[in-house]
Structure 1
Amino acid sequence: MQQQISVITLGVQDLERSRRFYVDGFGWTPVFDNGEIVFYQMNGLVLGTWIRPELEGDMQRPAGPGPSAFSLAHNVAGPEAADALIARLAAAGGQVLRPGQAPPHGGYRGYVADPDGHAWEIAWNPAWAIDDQGHVTFGL
């Protein structure tokens, strides 16, 4: 089976607040927005933000507490770019969970939660190449 992810959809409480975080914070442009769900075309997949009760109903999953312990990651070109993006995301309504710093295993990272608590790792890994389309290649 092909290893791929086509769409990641995040349940959100307030679509406008979420849109501000992703549009003003990351600088992303929606490719679809119907007032209930917003899709962003990424490099090889689509990210969706959907009103949480609607998503839970579509999944036939009872409403739960909040996002589990997981993070999405956005890799950048260096530590300075990570700090700048963390600041921009915070200004767009995000909550800094962990400021940027160099972990013991190398590289650089910080964490920001979107307005609905979904954690984003903003990271730089010197061994991981990022091409002009934003595709990351795993490297050690």
Structure 2
Amino acid sequence: MHIEHLALWTRDLDRLRAFYEAYFGATPNDRYRSNRRPFESYFLTFATGARLELMRLEGLDEERSEHALGYAHLALATGSREAVDALIARLRADGHRILSEPRTTGDGYYEGVVADPDGNEIEITI
């Protein structure tokens, strides 16, 4: 058994799709539009085959708190400490919010944390 995909709600599919394409090399499928309700989505595929679904639905509630039940973060591996450092530097230079500078955590991960354009946390690891 394996995780088939992870899904995120967004108000702006194109903005979020462009972010994951530009910084993480994700490849999108064609936009899906439901004929029955105001719903659209993209599946983004990463180099390993892992997939992230970005979904939009009219009337989506924007309330979120820093810590809540459910989704906490998405971790994406780069392959090296240097790649983590370079990607965090690129994201910072492009104006994205860095939540945690690259460091070795207590459980042994080397990671930096950034917020995507909707505020979802992304751990960038080795």
TM superposition score normalised by structure 1: 0.67
Match of 1:29 among 27, 30, 42: 27
For 1:33-72, what per-residue CA distance to the aligned partner results, in whole angstroms no more than 9, with x for missing partners? 2473111123344211111547x6xxxxxx3622746111
Give unpaired runs (5+ residues) of structure 2. 34-39
* More displaced stretch, 43-52 vs 16-25: 43-52
Q: Does 1:74 align with 2:81?
A: no
TM superposition score normalised by structure 2: 0.74
Match of 1:109, SS state, is strand
- What's the % identity of the aligned pairs? 36
> Which residue identity lines up with residue 23 of structure 2 in the other structure?
G
> Which residue identity lines up with residue 6 of structure 2 in the other structure?
I
Change (3 A) 1:123 1:85: same
8 A contact 1:21–1:94 mirrored in 2: no
> Which residue identity lines up with residue 43 of structure 2 in the other structure?
F
Q: How many residues are treated as equivalent by the alignment?
A: 115
RMSD between superposed Cα atoms in Å:
2.5
